[in-house]
Amino acid sequence: MPNFAESINLVLSGAVQGLIIALAALAISLTFAVARFPNAATGDVMTLGAYVAVIAQGAAGSLLLGGLVAMLVTVGLSVLSYALVFRKLADRLVASLIASIGIAFFLRSMLTLFLGFDQRVFRVPIMRAMNFSGVRVLPIDLWLAGISVLVLAATFALLFLTPLGRRMRAVAADSDLARASGIRSGQVMVMLWAMVGLLSAIAGVMVGIKTVVTPELGWDLLLPAFAAAVLGGIGSPVGAVVAAVGLGIVQELSTPLVGFTYKIALSFVALIGVLLVRPQGLFGQIERVR
């Protein structure tokens, strides 16, 4: 069993991992709340963002520039996928879900066809961990956690403090009523998919920095992200973030017991346990049919 300092190290590592998962879970939750279907392509869009960033960094020598290029590419791809595919499948949950799975497989196949399966790594400065009586804090983890918190805060500020956010929440609550009130749902959907692409790119780059960039990068994070989105209450952005941080900590604390390979199973054990007690999730509400 880990001692106190080791347990704190696991909690800190899990919190950082949970914040990264929260970005992907938030993208999934927003898509489900507004577009009304779970977007299975989120993970592979993250992978694309990580590959674009690592290649751009290699060409330009700047991680910041690589991240910006990745955001532009994934935002463009996300909006394009809406314009060409999901807009035509509006209000058709199963068809939209299947289409998102097809886009995911297409992206992964293209990445492996042109880039292969070799691992790629971001060039980041090597910094010594800060040690506080056995509690080790990596500067890179502080940077990743800080950026995640800023991105999450900016997203929630946009959702709850701006006219665009109010329109987006109106479409999520009742799309027909929103259209009858004069809200242009098409503009709202374009902004939604731009946000989803942006969040996916940032999450993918962060995972790549913390680990390595491979074709399976997004898939490995997609499962806990989906679990967090459902556990927090599907369609509840706040619930998705809270559940993601909690799942990240649970996964890391379970590592000494079940090992790195099987720690992801704990997310689904927690998911099943909560849904048996509260099927609508932690922050969700039961919908009533009149």
The total of structural domains in the chain comes to 1
Identify whether 164 is part of a domain. yes
Identify whether 283 is part of a domain. no
Query: Tell me, what CATH number does 29's domain have?
Result: 1.10.3470.10
Can you give the pLDDT at residue 290? 34
6-58 pLDDT, tens digit per residue, is 888 888 888 999 999 999 999 999 999 888 898 999 999 999 999 999 999 99
3-state SS assignment for residue 20: helix
Q: CA–CA separation, 59 vs 65, rounded Å?
A: 10
- The alpha-helical segments, DSSP class H, found in 82-184 are 93-115, 139-161, 163-173, 175-180
Taking residues 196-219, report their average pLDDT: 93
Q: Whose structure tokens read 């790629």?
A: 120
Could you give phi then psi for residue 132, rounded to 5 degrees? -120, 85
Distance of CA 98 to the CA centre of its chain: 19
pLDDT at 148 over 90: yes
Identify whether 30 is part of a domain. yes
Tokens of 78: 């996300």
Can you give the pLDDT at residue 136? 84
* Domain span at 57: 4-117+131-277
Q: CA–CA separation, 6 vs 101, rounded Å?
A: 39
Can you give the pLDDT at residue 181? 78
Could you give phi then psi for residue 22, rounded to 5 degrees? -60, -35
Identify whether 126 is part of a domain. no
Identify whether 178 is part of a domain. yes
Taking residues 191-200, report their average pLDDT: 95
Identify whether 9 is part of a domain. yes
Identify whether 123 is part of a domain. no
Identify whether 39 is part of a domain. yes
Q: Which amino acid does the sequence have at 203?
A: A
